[in-house]
Amino acid sequence: MRSHAMATAAAFGGAALILAGCSSSSSSDSDSGGGSLTVLCTVQEDQCQQVMDTFTAEEGITARYVRMSAGEAVARMNASKANPEFDVVYGGGADNHVASAEFGLLEPYVSPNADVIPDEFKDADGLWTGIYWGMFGFCANTDVLDDIGAEVPQSWNDLLDPIFAGNIAMAHPATSGTAYQAMWSQVELNDGDEDAALEYFGDLHSNILQYTKSGSGPGQMAGRGEIAVGLIFAHDCVKFINEGFTNLETIYPEEGATFEVGAVSLIKDAAHPDAAKQFIDWALTPVAQEIGVATGNYQVPTNPDAEVTDDMVDRDDVAVLDYDIAEAGAARDELTKRFDAEVAPQPKE
Amino acid sequence: MTLTLDPTSTAAQALPPTTKRRVRGVGRDPSVAIIVAVVVAVLLLLLGLPMSKLVMAAFSDEGLVVFTGLFTNPANLRVVGNTMLLGLLVGVCGTLVGFLFAFAQVRLKFRGKRLLHLLALVPVVAPPFAVATATITLFGRSGVVTSTLLGLNTDVYGLGGLVFVLTLSFSPVAYMNLKGMLENLDPSLDEAASDLGASKARIFFTVTLPMLAPGIAGSFLLLFVEGIADLANPLVLGGDYTVLSTRAYIAVTGEFNVQAGAAYSILLIVPALLVFLVQRYWTGKKQVTSVTGKPSGRAELITAPALRIPVLALVAAWVVVTITVYTTVVAGGFLKVPGVNNEFTLDHFRFVLAGIGSKAMLDTTVMALIAAPTAGVLGMLIAWLVVRKLGRFAGVLDFVGMLGLAVPGTVLGIGYAVAFLVPTEIFGFQILPPLAGGAAALGGGLAIVMVYITRSLPPGQRAGVAALAQINPAIDEASTSLGASGATTFRKVTLPLIHSAFATGITLATARAMTTLSPIVFLTTPGIKIMTSQILAEVDAGRFGNAFAYCALLVTIVLAIIGLINLLLRKVIFRGLLRH
């Protein structure tokens, strides 16, 4: 019996040694001769899957991915900074990429395909390049509006009407880049005056039912008829409408709103930098960008040659506020803290 | 999830307490020494390393800001207050519901006891978001029940909704504890009291309840901890009601501040640890050994309608609510947009079963199947060491094993992320490669299996300790005095005697492993898809139909595995070893 126990102990010890001997990079590759790539993907899961499949088929490099929200992605990259798990981060608002760059997580790469992308959709230093953009707006449930006897709100000002008390929802700016767009829109509309922007949200506070944790939460709540108006990206509203929430209506505020740019970036010290660069090049082509609409996502592609459908916003029809993405990203921390301290805890009338 | 408390029996029946026996020195039995070494090493890896890394992160600069800000920043103070209130309410309501069910099951006379038992336990296998999303669909502002049927405008987000959902999810824990205690109560005291002329009500309030007090308190404390540690439900249903677990999650994913997340997590551990220490102190005081452990008689079942009708009515009402909620979960997968567009469709199941969904099912099942037996065996080993072999260090080992449950899931996840996403080094030497994340060995699956084991270990350990405490150690000593080593005794004598505790342990371990979410959130990898994080993604995107379909499948798989494991244990492994 003693030898039995000894044998078990030896087996444990052997296993531990083998584990210690495994080095990280050698064991994660299990691919054909074409090379492999690991992508941190923050768009919807089905879009991620199709993007990876198409890239693998076209370029012959096996692309694997993990899907998580943009904020989680930054945190995850930061946590494994010393030993990056991923090569490329695909999707997610540029403000997240700016934050990642500030943490020292990204490496500049200017793709030859980036030439056709307009300047406003890419970083001057090449740290991130835009693959889609979308407008911020309102998503209103026409049935609920009828119930409470309200007109469809057409402007930011309309939202302040007391008739909407407890019938509006937006995400909390700290958790979601979506809500931060709303904040920055107000800052831009007030010519950069942050105090005035916070004052607007203070006024809006009584109409807000809750500040959701997820960016698209308000849209779902509107879709299910729990509130009248959700403040989310217009393309998310269109997505909900096409998924079956038929009593929703997309509104672009009259005064104007900001837009988000979804970007792709090269991660610093990536295990497969060449494959990563190839992926970025490919992501900027029309073929790659059209996968979005094929999987039911209605952001506008940044490549002028990519197809634009009717569901997507038409730049000429709506009021778009131009703004400096880097400036917005830099101010985020402080603005959201002030929101948390000055606006959120106030009692609602 | 079931932490059966050690049954307290009355003095009338106690044999002399035998827990503090002179234990055979570990040094005299090398096989036991090896087992201790292995168990300690495993626990160090599973719990010691992540927890110490977490504490280091919490007390770094960014983390200290949270602690100091605790008393100066009103927002933080509010979050802590919210958390405590939630725990309190869940503890009270959950214990109440559990007590009602246990009382009805053990003391009242009615038909359908087996059915009630099963219905009371349904929430154990439920996935994390199932109840929350069903509650929104049923009782929300435009819920099927509240708005369509009753015309009410209820806001289910916030404290009320959370208490309801958490009570529904965790009352089985209270039920199982209190049922066990009620069954073990010696009715001779009740009979003595009624012989002296006391009315049934008087007996209940002056004899029964005080004897149950440790059980009720224990259940309350357990539910308190489970209530404050939960992440999935406050994320979906919390609204503006922020609690520590969601605050930690936001700190990590919204503010990219893992250290602050660690600090909030540490705040969560404190009440959890206190609960377990108090519980150990309380139940450690009264312990009784008897091989069979059954009381000398059964209390007579109550037939008085004055008591039966109200209690059974309340129980029935709760059962109806439970069934409605879980039916919505199963049916919701078949509706186009549950609650809004109730057309029948198979699209959601198609989405879930094709592509990512099937891979998620496979990965989750495989890892749970690896983790559950490991957790079961480890739990039994620890229970055996704690009750039989270790003298002074028994308490420490028992406590460390329980940390897997005491530490909230979010905390564990952050700890694992901090510890295992990068190689482990001591003085510059790498002793472990990264075990989590895409760059790790085996596609990061190892860390996920480890998390599963850690979370599943405590129920088996508790069941083992309770079972072993009832077995007279003279049996073990008879075996060793005949020449068997400690390990052989464990294998051939002890294990068969506690086989049902082992089966329970594994069953709960599997259910728990497959439905855990909070630790996994931070450990997802490209090679491995987990069902619960897929469900989170679908709920986040508002695709409730897909989420319900996933939940229905998850429940089916869990039940199938539990059935299989029980069958295997009873028919194959223990067949030759059972005495009865």
What CATH number is given to the structural domain containing A214?
3.40.190.10
Exposure string for B145-176, b = 16+ CB within 10 A, e = fewer: bbbeeeeeebbbbbbbbbbbbbbbbbbbbbbb
Question: What is the spatial distance between Cα B124 and Cα B2, in angstroms, rounded to a whole number?
Answer: 9
Same domain, A149 and A294: no
Q: Given CB atoms, is B91 within the 8 Å cutoff of chain A?
A: no
C-beta separation of A230 from A168 below 8 A: yes
Tell me which residues of chain A, numbers 120 to 139, contact chain B at a CB-CB cutoff of 8 Å. none
Averaged pLDDT for residues A7-11 = 51
Bridge partners (DSSP) listed for residue A320: A257
- Residue type at position A60: G
Instruction: Inform me whether the pLDDT recorded for A29 exceeds 60.
Output: no
Q: In chain A, what residues touch B252 (CB-CB under 8 Å)?
A: 72, 75
- Residue type at position A88: V
Angle at A81 between CA A80 and CA A85, to 5 degrees: 50
Same domain, A203 and A338: yes
Q: Given CB atoms, is B425 within the 8 Å cutoff of chain A?
A: no
Q: Given CB atoms, is B578 within the 8 Å cutoff of chain A?
A: no
Closest Cβ opposite residue A24 in set B78, B440, B488: B440
Quote the tokens at residue B178.
């209190």
Distance from CA of B96 to the nearest CA of A (A): 31
Q: Provide the domain count of chain A.
A: 2
- Under 8 Å CB pairs connecting chains A and B tally to 184
- Residue type at position A310: D
Same domain, A222 and A335: yes
Question: What is the spatial distance between Cα B330 and Cα B555, in angstroms, rounded to a whole number?
Answer: 9
Same domain, A74 and A99: yes
Report the chain B residue with the minimal C-alpha distance to residue A211: B240
Report the chain A residue with the minimal C-alpha distance to residue B533: A68
Residue A114 lies in a domain: yes
Q: Given CB atoms, is A214 within the 8 Å cutoff of chain B?
A: yes
Positions in chain B whose pLDDT score sits under 50: 1-26, 287-294, 579-580
Interchain proximity A66–B438, CB inside 8 Å: yes
Distance from CA of A72 to the nearest CA of B (A): 4
What's the distance, Cα to Cα, between the start and end of chain A in Å?
76
Distance from CA of B116 to the nearest CA of A (A): 34
CATH architecture of B333-580: Orthogonal Bundle (1.10)
- Residue type at position A131: I
Closest Cβ opposite residue B433 in set A22, A219, A227: A22
Interchain proximity B253–A19, CB inside 8 Å: no
Dihedrals phi, psi of B152, to nearest 5 degrees: -95, 160
Report the chain B residue with the minimal C-alpha distance to residue A226: B141
Interchain proximity A19–B433, CB inside 8 Å: yes
Interchain proximity B442–A78, CB inside 8 Å: no
Averaged pLDDT for residues A6-25 = 46
Q: Which of A24, A55, A90, A211 to mutate to test the interface with B (most CBs of B within 10 A)?
A: A24
Interchain proximity A64–B526, CB inside 8 Å: yes
Q: Which of A226, A279, A334, A348 to mutate to test the interface with B (most CBs of B within 10 A)?
A: A226
Quote the tokens at residue B96.
């109440």
Q: In chain B, what residues touch A12 (CB-CB under 8 Å)?
A: 38, 41
Q: Given CB atoms, is A223 within the 8 Å cutoff of chain B?
A: yes
Q: In chain A, what residues touch B438 (CB-CB under 8 Å)?
A: 28, 38, 64, 66, 85-86
Residue A11 lies in a domain: no
Closest Cβ opposite residue B142 in set A1, A172, A224: A224
Same domain, A179 and A150: yes
* pLDDT at site B29: 72
Q: Given CB atoms, is A346 within the 8 Å cutoff of chain B?
A: no
**Percent of chain A predicted with pLDDT > 90:** 36
Where on the phi/psi map is residue B443: left (φ > 0), alpha (ψ -120 to 50), or beta? left
Distance from CA of A69 to the nearest CA of B (A): 8
Same domain, A49 and A112: yes
pLDDT band at A246 (very low <50, low <70, confident <90, very high): confident
Interchain proximity B441–A220, CB inside 8 Å: no
* pLDDT at site A162: 92
Same domain, A207 and A329: yes
Distance from CA of A151 to the nearest CA of B (A): 20
* pLDDT at site A7: 53
Interchain proximity B522–A211, CB inside 8 Å: no
Q: In chain B, what residues touch A341 (CB-CB under 8 Å)?
A: 75
Closest Cβ opposite residue B438 in set A1, A86, A211: A86
Question: What is the spatial distance between Cα B156 and Cα B160, in angstroms, rounded to a whole number?
Answer: 7
Tell me which residues of chain B, numbers 176 to 195, contact chain A at a CB-CB cutoff of 8 Å. none
Most confidently modeled of A74-78, A158-162, B338-342, B398-402?
A158-162
pLDDT band at A335 (very low <50, low <70, confident <90, very high): confident
For A88-104, write each residue's pLDDT tens digit: 999 988 888 988 898 89
Domain residues for the domain of A280 are 32-133+260-301
Interchain proximity B339–A224, CB inside 8 Å: yes
pTM value?
0.80
Cα torsion B479, B480, B484, B489: sign: positive
pLDDT band at A27 (very low <50, low <70, confident <90, very high): very low
Q: Given CB atoms, is B430 within the 8 Å cutoff of chain A?
A: yes
Where on the phi/psi map is residue A304: left (φ > 0), alpha (ψ -120 to 50), or beta? alpha
Distance from CA of A158 to the nearest CA of B (A): 23
Q: Which of B421, B480, B532, B550 to mutate to test the interface with A (most CBs of A within 10 A)?
A: B421
Same domain, A64 and A211: no
Same domain, A273 and A338: no
Question: What is the spatial distance between Cα B433 and Cα B421, in angstroms, rounded to a whole number?
Answer: 9
Q: Given CB atoms, is A75 within the 8 Å cutoff of chain B?
A: yes
Q: Kind and range of the H or E element at B341?
A: strand B341-344
Q: Is B150 helix (H, G, I), strand (E, B) or coil?
A: coil
Q: What is the DSSP string of B531-568?
A: HHHHHHHHHHTT-HHHHHHHHHHHHHHHHHHHHHHHHI
Q: In chain A, what residues touch B356 (CB-CB under 8 Å)?
A: 45, 49
The rounded Cα B119 to chain-centroid distance in angstroms is 18
Report the chain A residue with the minimal C-alpha distance to residue B78: A345
Pairing of strands A36-41, A88-93: parallel
Closest Cβ opposite residue B142 in set A83, A225, A341: A225
For A282-329, write each residue's pLDDT tens digit: 999 999 999 988 888 899 999 999 888 888 888 888 888 888 888 887
Q: In chain A, what residues touch B142 (CB-CB under 8 Å)?
A: 224-226
C-beta separation of B128 from B235 below 8 A: no
Residue closest to B242 by CA, chosen among B404, B73, B127, B95:
B73
* pLDDT at site A31: 40
The domain ranges of chain B are 1-14+53-132+157-304, 333-580
Q: Given CB atoms, is B155 within the 8 Å cutoff of chain A?
A: yes
For A37-61, write each residue's pLDDT tens digit: 999 998 888 888 899 999 999 999 9
Interchain proximity B438–A174, CB inside 8 Å: no
Q: Given CB atoms, is A62 within the 8 Å cutoff of chain B?
A: no
Distance from CA of B555 to the nearest CA of A (A): 23
Same domain, A120 and A175: no
pLDDT band at A131 (very low <50, low <70, confident <90, very high): very high
**CATH assignment, B1-14+53-132+157-304:** 1.10.3720.10
pLDDT band at A128 (very low <50, low <70, confident <90, very high): very high
Report the chain A residue with the minimal C-alpha distance to residue B337: A244
Q: How many CB atoms lie within 10 A of CB B356?
A: 17
Q: What is the DSSP string of B397-436?
A: HHHHHHHHHHS-HHHHHHHHHHHHSS-EEETTEEEE---S
For tokens 């009248």, the residue is A228
Pairing of strands A229-233, A168-171: parallel
Residue A23 lies in a domain: no
Same domain, A229 and A336: yes
C-alpha distances in Å from residue A293, one per residue of A232, A296, A317, B336: 18, 5, 20, 21
Interchain proximity A216–B542, CB inside 8 Å: yes
Residue closest to B477 by CA, chosen among B489, B468, B465, B467:
B489
Cα torsion A260, A266, A272, A278: sign: positive
Interchain proximity A28–B443, CB inside 8 Å: yes
Dihedrals phi, psi of B456, to nearest 5 degrees: -90, -15
List the beta strands (DSSP E) in chain A: 36-41, 62-67, 88-93, 106-107, 129-141, 168-171, 208-212, 229-233, 248-251, 259-267, 300-301
Question: What is the spatial distance between Cα A169 and Cα B110, in angstroms, rounded to a whole number?
Answer: 49
Question: What is the spatial distance between Cα B531 and Cα B540, in angstroms, rounded to a whole number?
Answer: 14
Same domain, A67 and A155: no
Distance from CA of A212 to the nearest CA of B (A): 6
Q: CATH topology of B1-14+53-132+157-304 equal to that of B333-580?
A: yes
- Residue type at position B227: G
Q: Given CB atoms, is B171 within the 8 Å cutoff of chain A?
A: no
Pairing of strands A106-107, A259-267: antiparallel
**Percent of chain A predicted with pLDDT > 70:** 90
Q: Given CB atoms, is A3 within the 8 Å cutoff of chain B?
A: no
Q: Is B336 helix (H, G, I), strand (E, B) or coil?
A: strand
Q: Given CB atoms, is A319 within the 8 Å cutoff of chain B?
A: no
Q: How many CB atoms lie within 10 A of CB B327?
A: 12
Residue closest to A253 by CA, chosen among A332, A307, A320:
A320
